[in-house]
Structure 1
């Protein structure tokens, strides 16, 4: 969990530095103090996830004996994320943009006009639960199939955090020319613009 916090803090620092320089900002506005205050609890999501992982460890004792690497578990994690998790995430996110759910939940996330990496985890509690359950599908599956490894868990969490942070920063981290050279990349990642 400490590595996740450090990873997020590096993104926050990089994003605020790039925003303050102002040369490559996507949205040419300053970050409002209200947004900084509203997003000051960005680490709650990491602490909540840590608590749920701890509870999971207590309920599934064999999870404490994970090997460092299992290729089959890494492949299962990738395939489950690319298939059912992305599919379900798309429909969950679409549902959260429906007026009923948007006005009660998801609008809190979209109230940040100048996004920062931590904007990606600023959600009401019910959304945190839904996202945790959704993104836990590959992790839980590898546990029950006994293919889990430290690499599949840590790599998956790092991937999710990296993509969320990159997708919400206020500058283009990946040069647009890279998408011209490798057009398939647009199916593997999203960018702030």
Structure 2
């Protein structure tokens, strides 16, 4: 748990501004801390939902998670800490990010979605294919596939190199929108948490949508991301 001390400088900055200054000079120190906390909370909620078998959830694999998998995935949240530090570095490199963004910017959402569809999605797809090559899979990606039962925490169970690439995939649409002058607070919160939501759902051991829906409407499998 000592790794959470790395959030210390952000928390100290927030406390100093709160006590000794009239307003936050670095508002994104607060936002980074809040986003990191919300990301961890979202994974915990998906963990709970994944285990609520009394709801009649359709399990993909019938066996439960073993203690070995729990131990292996114990540091699943390292990527949240890493991306929080990278976001802090981005704020230091681009001082304009200290300016308070508007709550909503329609142009920013459009820019974000275009960058996501045209850049991040293809990049994520091709990098994932490369990691399934013999060398990269053996030395890196096999760790992610070592979990025998899908679980929301499995989404964060990967090597440092994979987390760096994932950080780039997430960061491109956000930084692109901000540098184009169309960033907003809701855009950043929504994209990061939405990205995590989809990854948690895709790594869960319960199916959110019944398979019969895809049998009747096959084209939906190209539009909706599900564990199956």
TM-score, normalized by the shorter chain, greater than 0.5:
yes
CA distance in 2: counterparts of 1:184 and 1:49, whole angstroms: 34
CA distance in 1: counterparts of 2:52 and 2:111, whole angstroms: 37
Q: In structure 2, do the counterparts of structure 1 residues 185 and 67 end up closer, same or farther at CA, with 3 Å as the change threshold?
A: farther
Q: Does 1:149 align with 2:158?
A: no
Q: In structure 2, do the counterparts of structure 1 residues 142 and 23 end up closer, same or farther at CA, with 3 Å as the change threshold?
A: closer
Structure 1 range deviating more: 61-70 or 113-122: 61-70
Give the superposition deviation at 1:140: 1.0
Comparing both chains, which one has the higher relative contact order based on Cα–Cα distances under 8 Å and sequence gaps of 6 or more? Answer: 1
Q: Does 1:164 align with 2:199?
A: yes
Residue in structure 2 matched with residue 5 of structure 1 by the alignment: 40
Secondary structure of the 1:148 match is coil
CA distance in 1: counterparts of 2:177 and 2:127, whole angstroms: 23
TM-score by length of 1: 0.92
1:147-189, Cα deviation, whole Å (9 max, x unpaired):
1111111111111101100001001012335446765542233
Q: Is the 8 A contact 2:57 2:207 kept in 1?
A: no
Q: Does 1:99 align with 2:134?
A: yes
1:29-52, Cα deviation, whole Å (9 max, x unpaired):
121111101111111111111111
Aligned residue runs from structure 1 range 1-193, under 5 A: 1-18=36-53, 24-64=58-98, 65-179=100-214, 184-193=219-228
Question: Whose radius of gyration is greater, 1 or 2?
Answer: 2
Give the superposition deviation at 1:17: 2.6
Residues paired across the two proteins, number: 192
CA distance in 2: counterparts of 1:133 and 1:182, whole angstroms: 34
Secondary structure of the 1:151 match is helix
Unmatched tracts of structure 1, length 5 or more: none
CA distance in 2: counterparts of 1:165 and 1:5, whole angstroms: 11
CA distance in 2: counterparts of 1:67 and 1:48, whole angstroms: 26
Unmatched tracts of structure 2, length 5 or more: 1-35
